[in-house]
A and B are shown apart, each in its own frame.
Chain A
């Protein structure tokens, strides 16, 4: 195996010319930078896709976990990588925007060549099933009555969940008491234990507890109602234009030949039709949503604006 790679690499040095390269791309395994630890939901999802994509790409994906600093380290590693089409990596919204504007990252929006959106996990607002808040209206009314008292748990300062809390405050003109937790597990335990009033999270994590009959989901931040919670209204239905999610897509570093990006996007789109792939992703609670390269680029730009507004409201800009 190693010998085969060595031979291929030598052949690439000696023979391949730039012109014919695009047709043969990829000639060796592609490194995929996952900016979160091995075993997390992004990592597992990537490994499921890696399983499915080999048949469509003709090469393996080699996963490299570069966790830390709220995805910043992994996205920085991607921005710094050689733009030769052999390093792909995650670009995550809203974290990409947060790092560009708040954490003085060395990359910008233009440091990446968008390839495809893979998973779009919408934000949800839920309460414990015996909570007095029967609907979002109840919750907002209570917040008007007791400003700053209702506690909203999220998975970290400036996480996508926290930004939803900020968006709700802004949209309804109310004040919440944001309490930050270290991930979804401790947060769900805190809500179920009655230590925090409201859970702000994503569909994937919420569904487990909802199916168990422990959560009442008050609203989802999607354009239309979703299958996971058919009886739950969207924020749009409630008169507020709030669409937010943890949006995980992949990009190349800027400067990668567009032909390579097209080829990779094509392989991802093909793999995303695999029934086996879709079934496994659904079991993980990961909502697959594939966008084309152009759509993904536009999507990112639109989310950047949205998040920027929220950061401004928080006084972070």
Chain B
């Protein structure tokens, strides 16, 4: 089941690669000077890679066995392999939270945004002890202030309406 999904994954990736290659070749044709090798030849290569990927997936399914070679290697560096959609729910929420975090930084400043973001991540990941929330968020803010602003003198984004205090 998982490898069947992975095979569909390969087909989609192959299609995307071909589209990217086509777009790059088309755009690069308007470039002045010599773009024949970078990026045009590269794009042809990527397009060929996409075709090969699709071919591999189709061949593997025609041979009637799971395309072991094309699924993720069984190394645990990739975590649970394959496309387990339920497992991807929390990572997706994490990405959404991070988007909100980055969008908030210019509006309420880096410190306030971090004080909101870190507890939110802990909450969705099921942290139950309240003091961990406080220690993590405040500890992070204090650490960043001392290291980045004090030691290295990197000014961090602050909210204009807080008159540059936070």
Contacts and interface: CB of A to CB of B under 8 A. Distances in A.
Q: Do chains A and B touch in the complex (CB under 8 A)?
A: yes
A5 interface: yes
B163 A10 contact: yes
B155 A9 contact: no
Interface string B133-166: 0000000000000000000010100000001110
B164 A9 contact: yes
A9 B153 contact: no
Contacts of B164: 5, 9, 28
B147 to A, nearest CB: 15
A28 B155 CA distance: 15
Nearest to B164: A9
A212 B83 CA distance: 61
Contact of B155 (A2, A6, A62): A62
A7 B5 CA distance: 61
Interface residues of B, number: 5
Nearest to A47: B153
Interface size class of A (residues with CB under 8 A): 10 to 19
B80 to A, nearest CB: 39
Contacts of A62: 153, 155
Interface string A19-41: 00000000010010000000000
Interface in A240-289: none
A174 interface: no
Nearest to A1: B150
Contacts of A31: 155
A63 interface: yes
A191 B35 CA distance: 27
A63 B153 contact: yes
A13 B155 contact: no
A127 B155 CA distance: 42
Contact of B163 (A2, A13, A63, A64): A13
Contacts of B155: 31, 62, 64
A45 to B, nearest CB: 16
A2 B163 CA distance: 12
A31 B163 CA distance: 14
A2 B164 CA distance: 10
Nearest to B163: A9
The 7 A-B pairs with the shortest beta carbon distances in the complex, nearest first, are A9-B163, A6-B165, A64-B155, A62-B155, A9-B164, A9-B165, A13-B163
Given A5-B164, A6-B163, A62-B155, 12 more contacts: A2-B165, A5-B165, A6-B165, A9-B163, A9-B164, A9-B165, A10-B163, A13-B163, A31-B155, A62-B153, A63-B153, A64-B155
